[in-house]
Amino acid sequence: MNSPANFPQLLPVVKPRDVPPEFIDALKSRFGAQCSTGVTVCELHGRDESSFTTVPPPAGVVFAESAQDVSDAVKLCARYKVPAIPFGVGSSVEGHLLAVQSGISIDLSRMNRILAVNAEDLTVTVEPGVTREQLNSELRSTGLFFPIDPGADASIGGMCATRASGTNAVRYGTMRENVLMLEVVTASGEVIRTGTRAKKSSAGYDLARLFIGSEGTLGVITKITLRIYPLPEAVSAAVCSFPSIAAAVTTVIETVQLGVPIARVELIDVNAIRAVNKHSKLSLREEPMLLMEFHGSATSVKEQSETVQEIASEHGGAGFEWADTPEERSRLWTARHNAYFAALQTRPGCRCLTTDTCVPISRLADALLRSVEDAEASGIPHFLVGHVGDGNFHMCYLIDPDDAEERARAEQLNHRLVRHVIELGGTCTGEHGIGLHKMGFLVEEAGAGTVAMMRTIKKALDPDNIMNPGKIFAMD
């Protein structure tokens, strides 16, 4: 029943593993109503925001309510050698949640409590199912906030697992820099803790950083302590249009090189703006646009924005609009927030195949312009958004998921881009992870020896390969 018919061409084909009926019985007996094998529930947990839609769903879903639940579920998986796939809100775009070797989904959305806000230490401790919007809404009254914003209202556990970042990372870093402590259920079902609430530590191997970005392949994250930040005294947002992508990118490069502590700087291209204009009935200038945000004291924000406005003007930046209140800022940022869904609607039934390369900032124009040129030549509908302050951008190809030839062409464009980016000293994924279909890219980027070391660690910590198998790299 699990045969991957119509399996996307570029996914590695692996024989699914056995999910014995005794295992399902044991699961049901332990979890009762917290366990479901219903078709709809399983199907909901067998897909994500990726363009891969054809993998059979997991055989069951456990709705965990505590680390003990996770531990018990993993112990059963370990006993029967059945894969376990942690599930947050399903916002992965790299197929992390797909049951490519069958198994069960461990849904963490019920573990959504904020356990402690230590305002005086600028830390917060949460369960993995807390989403970033939930967190910020609960923090609002404290004058603090959690800045990492990958766009989707992702779960904090999922953001850890993919080493997520998004807008704001240019100033506040990624999940790598903002996690202090993790509680993790290992592949044997043991509950361990790594890190402390202290801001820094040299106490042994940095296991927290090993789990951050491990994409569920080493264990299930069940508790997270994060750094949070005082809401800036002043926030100012701006949008500015440019005669070309090159002009916009040059503005960004010079801003970063000058050391301006800009909090956000996003690029969206003409295709995305057209989609947003149509979708939200707006009349934005149909030109490449930078969206920026400045955080700090009133004086510092003023100074930063003046500097950037000056740089932008030198490169033909025009149509500057500023916003200082939260409402105005939301309005300005509409284009960025709606770009993805607006673009999807320009081609009904399409799925988005998204690239995620990241390069050293001086190579950004080179990487970005070549990818635009290639996409234009391909004839596949596409749009571009980017966290360009970090050198990270997403070329999004709007493909017909049932058209294997089109998918293959989009994948080829991605591959060409990744090759180019690796030559430029960059990475195939800035923030989405390797997931299902970048395994080849990972080897090209890191080298076989480095990937072999990752595999050695995986094998040592998960000898039966039950934790989200088939992601990041193939095991024997």
- Within positions 424 to 453, which residues make up the interface with its own copies, using CB under 8 A? 425-434, 438, 441-442, 445-447, 449-451, 453
**Using CB under 8 A, which of 160, 179, 212, 275 touches its own copies?**
212
HSE toward the beta carbon, residue 280, CA cutoff 13 A:
22
Site for its own copies, residues 281 to 300, rule: CB under 8 A: 296-297, 299-300
Interface of this chain with its own copies, residues 310 to 329, rule: CB under 8 A: none
Distance of CA 332 to the CA centre of its chain: 23
Residue 210 touching its own copies (CB under 8 A): yes
Q: Does 12 bind its own copies (CB under 8 A)?
A: no
Q: Which of 176, 285, 347, 415 binds its own copies (CB under 8 A)?
A: 176
Within 10 angstroms of residue 5's Cβ, the number of other Cβ atoms is: 8
* Contact between 206 and its own copies per CB under 8 A: yes
Give the C-alpha distances (Å, rounded to integers) separating 141 from 62, 119, 209, 230, 251: 34, 11, 30, 11, 36
Of 210 and 369, the one with the shorter C-beta distance to its own copies is 210
Out of 26, 122, 234, 282, the residue judged to bind its own copies by CB under 8 A: 122
- Smallest distance, Å, CB 41 to its own copies? 29
Q: Are 157 and 108 in contact (CB under 8 A)?
A: yes
Task: Sheet with 114-118: list strands edge to edge.
Answer: 114-118, 123-126, 219-227, 179-186, 191-195
Residue window 352-371: x/- pattern of binding to its own copies, with contact defined by CB under 8 A: ----x-xxxxxx--------
The binder of its own copies chosen from 15, 140, 416, 459 (CB under 8 A): 459
Q: From 99-107, 212-220, 309-317, 321-329, give the range in contact with its own copies by CB under 8 A.
A: 212-220
Q: How far is the CB of 123 from its own copies (least distance, A)?
A: 7
Which residue number, 16 or 296, has a Cβ lying nearer to its own copies? Answer: 296
Which candidate, 420, 427, 459, places its Cα nearest to that of 360? 427
Residues 34-73 contacting its own copies, CB under 8 A? none
Do 245 and 269 touch, CB atoms closer than 8 A? yes
| Minimum gap (Å) between residue 336 Cβ and its own copies | 19
Residue number with CB closer to its own copies (22 or 177): 177
Rounded least distance, CB 76 to its own copies, Å: 19
What percent helix, strand, coil does the chain show, rounded to 5?
A: 40, 20, 40
* Residue the block writes with tokens 């990270």: 392
State both tokens at 260: 């301006």
Indicate the residue type of 61.
V
| Alpha helix (H) residue ranges in 262-394 | 270-280, 298-314, 326-344, 364-378
CA dist list (Å): 345 to 90, 103, 272, 340, 342 = 20, 33, 11, 9, 5
Quick check: 349 binds its own copies (CB under 8 A)? no
User: Which residues from 225-264 bind its own copies, rule CB under 8 A?
Assistant: 229-230, 232, 253, 256-259
Closer to its own copies at the Cβ: 171 or 279?
Answer: 171
Burial of 335 per CB tally in 10 Å (0-12, 13-18, 19+)? buried
CA 200 from chain center: how many Å?
Answer: 25
| Shortest reach from residue 302's CB to its own copies, in Å | 9
Contact region with its own copies (CB under 8 A), list: 131-139, 185-193, 274-282, 402-410: 185-193
Q: Is 140 an interacting residue with respect to its own copies (CB under 8 A)? A: no
Query: What number of chain residues touch its own copies (CB under 8 A)?
Result: 89
d(CA 110, CA 413): 39
Which among 345, 326, 229, 242 has a CA at the least distance from the CA of 288?
Answer: 242
**Minimum CB distance to its own copies, residue 15 (Å):** 23
Indicate the residue type of 33.
A
192 forms part of the interface with its own copies (CB under 8 A):
yes
**Would you call 198 exposed, middle or buried from its count of C-beta atoms within 10 A (0-12, 13-18, 19+)?**
exposed
Answer yes or no whether residue 199 interacts with its own copies by CB under 8 A: yes
Residue position matching structure tokens 């402590």? 181
Give least dist CB 394 to its own copies, A: 13
| Residue closer to its own copies, measured from CB, 85 or 144 | 144
Six-digit token string for 411: 């994948």
CB of 249 to its own copies, least distance (A): 13
Cα(48)–Cα(116) distance, rounded to whole angstroms? Answer: 30
Q: Does 205 bind its own copies (CB under 8 A)?
A: yes
User: Smallest distance from the beta carbon of 233 to its own copies, in angstroms?
Assistant: 8
